[in-house]
Structure formats: C-alpha cells, structure tokens
Amino acid sequence: MVKYFSVLVFLMILSCIPYHKNEYGIYEPNSPNYSLKDKKDFTLPKNLDTVNFYQYNGFYENGIIKTDDNAKKVKWCLKFFDNGRLLNVSKKEVNYEFLNPKFANKEYYFYDKKKELIKIESFVTTEGGQYNIINYQISKNGDTLTSVTNSRMEYVFIRERIPNEWKRYKPDW
C-alpha cells in the first residue's frame, strides 16, 4: 500500500512540472503561453540583421566592453527571423548544424518603437518554469545588440556572418 501511495505522489509531482525536455535535449513548456508570439503591430527594426546572427562577446563594465572568458568556452548566439521568431543557441562550437531550430531554444521578440527596444521573451526552467522578457538595444548600424536593464547596458552581442555553405533554416514554430 505504501509503495502505491509513494508512486502516486511521485507521479503527481511530475505532472505539476510545466515543462519537458524534447527529443533533442531542449527544455520546452508543456503549454506554451508566450505573450510576444504573433503580437499585433509587429514591426521589424530596420537595422536588425535577420540574415546573420549575434554572438555574445562580453559585458559592459564602466563603459568599456569586457570580454567574458565563458564566451570562449560556450558560444551563445541569437538568430533573428523577420517574423518575430528567434533562436537562442548555446553550444561549445559553431558548426554547420549550429542554427538548426531542432537544437536551439525557440523564442519570440517584439520591437517597441516608442522606446526603441527589442523585447525578447524566453522560457526558462528556473523557479518551476517561467517566461522572462529582456530588453535589448540595437546599434545604429545593426552590428551590436546590447541588453538593457534599469537603463544599464549589460550583455553585448556582436553580429557574426553565417558562412555561405551553411544551410539556411526557416522558422517553423
């Protein structure tokens, strides 16, 4: 009897987790509820590069970009598409399959024209699974993307060119 009760409690706890790991090892919400998905009045920022990707380079410290040693070990990249879709990729090396949507976090973004900020919504597994929206600012020429929190610039992403021989993926989510 105790064994059945223990199994039942265990199954109840598992059913309360709002996310799962898909067949490619990516955590996804069980019932996706992104607030930025297909948001009305979507506008593509004119200087945002949707052909190439932005790779994390470091962070601002006293107005100077400091290279992050972790950026050498794990490549963190954002690949924007022109319909509000975004791939958030973290891998040890950049290769042909790097930007394959099967192996990346599928996210959404929206451009706030009034504040001139790109809002990126991500699903994270912390605290039982939740959605986070982080604001980013794009440089005038579109080569740098910087996260903004409380008017402070933090993470810095630099535009990188996708090699011509790499396959181009279309967002299917």
Q: pLDDT tens, 103-119?
A: 899 999 999 999 999 99
- At residue 20, does pLDDT exceed 80? yes
User: Does 28 map to a domain?
Assistant: no
pLDDT by residue (tens digit) across 141-167?
Answer: 999 999 998 767 689 999 999 988 888
Domain assignment of residue 6, yes or no: no
Query: Does any domain span residue 147?
Result: yes
Residue 146, CA distances (Å) to 35, 40, 90, 149, 152 in order:
22, 25, 17, 10, 10
Range of the domain at 107: 33-160
Residue 48, domain member (yes or no): yes
* pLDDT reported for residue 74: 85
- At residue 50, φ and ψ (nearest 5 deg) are -105, 5
Two tokens, residue 157: 């992403």
| Residue 130 forms part of a structural domain | yes
Domain count, the chain: 1
Q: Is residue 169 part of a domain?
A: no
Q: How far apart are CA 33 and CA 19, in angstroms?
A: 12
Three-class SS of residue 14?
A: helix
Identify the CATH number of the domain in which residue 68 sits.
2.40.128
pLDDT for the residue 11 = 41
Residue 143 counted as domain residue:
yes
In a domain, 8, yes or no: no
Task: Report pLDDT digits (tens) over 24-71.
Answer: 888 888 888 899 999 999 999 989 999 999 999 988 877 778 888 777
Q: Dihedral (C-alpha) 160, 121, 48, 50: value to the nearest 10 degrees?
A: 60
> In angstroms, what CA-CA distances link 128 with 16, 46, 107, 120?
9, 36, 18, 20
Instruction: Reply yes or no on whether the pLDDT at 2 is more than 70.
Output: no
Closest to 109 measured CA to CA, from 140, 139, 78, 141: 78
